[in-house]
Structure 1
Amino acid sequence: MRSRILFIVNPISGGQVKTFIPSIIDQYLDHNIYDAEIIFTEYAGHATKIAAEAVAAHIDVVASVGGDGTINEVASALESSGKTMAIIPCGSGNGLARTLKIPLDNRKAIQRLNICKTVKIDSGTFNERKFFNMAGIGFDAHISALFAKDKNRGFKGYIQSTFKEISQYHAQAYEISVDGKVYQENAFMISVANSSQYGNNAHIAPFASLNDGLLDVCVIKPFPVYKFPLLAYRMFTKLTHTSNYVDIYRGRDIKITRATDGPVHIDGEPLFFPKEIAIGVKPLSLTLLV
């Protein structure tokens, strides 16, 4: 008996047109294994609605065709549902897909589905909002808000925004509680990592694991702007933890308190949160077809 698979396609993720997706699904998906359906999203949050309806309709596999934001929308509906998710990476950074070693070539990613191999990964919560790759406060949340407004989304646009804003952004004071141990930090940004990287192989938490039941809290302390290229180099060579400007704490029950309400990002999508943020982890709560 063939499995039912639904592809949820974000038509604008990563700045790529997705009109080719149906034809390569038809060509590279094994139709002896799957009965396929394709739906294109029409607005922010639409993927979550479609995925929730797919769960209610007992569809076996729901595939996210987009970036980490689209993955978040789909996975938020599938997490703890017992249904299986697949990823066809079409985003700007593709952090989760890269960590899972899912091919960035869409054809190869679709062919990989025919192997039918699954893994379970952890998910995180940020004041009850789910995340699966990375959530953050501070400079990266500021950049995510700017990037979301940029019509030229892509790695180049992200780098341009970063260089433009980095010298103007000021660090803030935070209280961070990790499994009951409290740290006072003056931080440029704080990233809470389920996987090791933001995307594009920039590893903020080199030892983070998707299935260890823990989250890595990565604190980037204020640094001279001229040191940024070295810090970036450490990220791309998985040596972030060796920097004097980085502290990494690992735990399950995390709370971050700042002076005021402000921006955050959840899997790259900007949001506005209160000054107190409760962070948790749900071990092995999402099944992925990889």
Structure 2
Amino acid sequence: MCTQSYILHTKTNILFIINPISGGRVKLAIPDFIDRYLDKDKFNANFVFTEYVGHAAELAEEASNKNFDVIIACGGDGTINEVAGKVLKYNKVLGILPLGSGNGLARFLKIPKNIRYALSIINRLKIEEIDTGEFNEKCFFNLAGLGFDAHLSAIFSKDKKRGLSGYVKLGLQEVFNYKAETYLLEIDGKQYKRKAFAISFANSSQYGNDVYIAPNASVKDGLLDVCIIKPFSILKLPVLSYVMLKGTAETSDMVEIIKGSHIKITRQNDGAVHVDGEPLQMGKVIEVTVKPLSLKVLVP
């Protein structure tokens, strides 16, 4: 683990990239709130709103090529993914204001949803380095996966009603019809064949909203937790939900977790995947790797 703090002799240029619709709520008042509580003795602050999917990445790249040293992702895990990918590429520092509905990575890093408290973390400028993942060379920072989670993300992305309640409602509708698939996995050279409802590759421990798929995952161990949710009777859905909310997936017979740093997955067909909750389409073969301690992020 590498922990450090800036000793500031001049003000740091900081950019807040704000997703105005993350979590289903409009965020137009956020700049005024940030301006009230940000330490102006330390920072020259700038604000920009995203306008479409992928815009946060474009804005972060533009900022990285200018004189911004700290870039703050204001949104959910999808916004964080876009911004962090460019922060990683250009060796800048990532900050997080968790404004999404799930906030998986922020919860793991103990960054509070209360914006005033989250800004106090930014004001301290305490930096740690964390692991990052690659999913067919697409960066992820919290979770990536395939199977039911990816199927649900693909459908949810088309729904104009964002937020947790809409996601849960859609999930309950889809779970009755989804069929488990068979996967071939190679994890650090060892072969596995598994039929699975979903497979997640966890850098941190949870999807978001304190729903834990990999309770013992660490962003500093150089490993990913490969979490295989086994096929189950729909009558056992409440049991699976309870296991995840209690953070006991590792002891459940419904979930198998294998740690590894280099994973190859072969599935029967091309199809949906998700990377930090954002849906993509990929082919039958997927490679997943980890880059140890590669991203600088502001933490409590």
TM-score range, shorter chain: over 0.9
* C-alpha distance in 1 between matches for 2:91 and 2:197: 38
* C-alpha distance in 1 between matches for 2:145 and 2:43: 37
Q: Is the 8 A contact 1:80 1:286 kept in 2?
A: no
Match of 1:198 among 207, 210, 213: 207
Match of 1:111 among 105, 120, 137: 120
Map Cα deviations across residues 188-221 of structure 1 (whole Å, 9 max, x no partner).
0000000000000000001110111000000001
2:32 equivalent to 1:23:
yes
Q: Is the 8 A contact 1:125 1:131 kept in 2?
A: yes
Q: Is the 8 A contact 1:135 1:193 kept in 2?
A: yes
Partner of 2:171: 162
* C-alpha distance in 2 between matches for 1:219 and 1:15: 30
SS in 2 for 1:232: helix
Query: 224-233 vs 146-155, which deviates more?
Result: 146-155
- Structure 1 residue ranges, 4+ long, deviating more than 4 angstroms after superposition: none
Q: Is the 8 A contact 1:133 1:267 kept in 2?
A: yes
Deviation at 1:82, TM superposition (A): 2.2
Between Structure 1 and Structure 2, how many residues are aligned? 290
2:22 equivalent to 1:13:
yes
Map Cα deviations across residues 225-246 of structure 1 (whole Å, 9 max, x no partner).
1111111111111101111121
Query: 102-111 vs 209-218, which deviates more?
Result: 102-111
Deviation at 1:80, TM superposition (A): 4.5
How do residues 83-102 of structure 1 correspond to structure 2 at under 5 angstroms?
83-102=92-111
The code of the aligned residue for 1:123 comes to T
* C-alpha distance in 1 between matches for 2:254 and 2:268: 22
Partner of 1:264: 273
Partner of 1:229: 238
Q: Is the 8 A contact 1:80 1:285 kept in 2?
A: no
Q: Is the 8 A contact 1:132 1:194 kept in 2?
A: yes
The code of the aligned residue for 2:107 comes to R
TM-score, normalised on structure 1?
0.98
Q: Is the 8 A contact 1:68 1:133 kept in 2?
A: yes
How do residues 147-226 of structure 1 correspond to structure 2 at under 5 angstroms?
147-226=156-235
Query: What runs of 5+ residues in structure 2 fail to find an aligned partner?
Result: 1-9
* C-alpha distance in 2 between matches for 1:114 and 1:13: 23
The code of the aligned residue for 2:242 comes to Y
2:55 equivalent to 1:63:
no
* C-alpha distance in 2 between matches for 1:82 and 1:187: 37
SS in 2 for 1:210: coil
TM-score, normalised on structure 2?
0.95
* C-alpha distance in 2 between matches for 1:236 and 1:245: 14
The code of the aligned residue for 1:254 comes to I
* C-alpha distance in 2 between matches for 1:242 and 1:284: 28
RMSD: 0.8
Partner of 1:246: 255
Q: Is the 8 A contact 1:206 1:240 kept in 2?
A: yes
The code of the aligned residue for 1:19 comes to L
2:106 equivalent to 1:123:
no
Deviation at 1:118, TM superposition (A): 1.1
The code of the aligned residue for 1:171 comes to A
Map Cα deviations across residues 42-88 of structure 1 (whole Å, 9 max, x no partner).
11111111111111113110000000000000001111422101000
Query: 110-119 vs 134-143, which deviates more?
Result: 110-119
* C-alpha distance in 2 between matches for 1:16 and 1:112: 23
SS in 2 for 1:198: strand
Map Cα deviations across residues 119-165 of structure 1 (whole Å, 9 max, x no partner).
11111000000000000100000111111112221111111111111
How do residues 263-282 of structure 1 correspond to structure 2 at under 5 angstroms?
263-282=272-291
How many percent of aligned residue pairs carry the same amino acid?
54
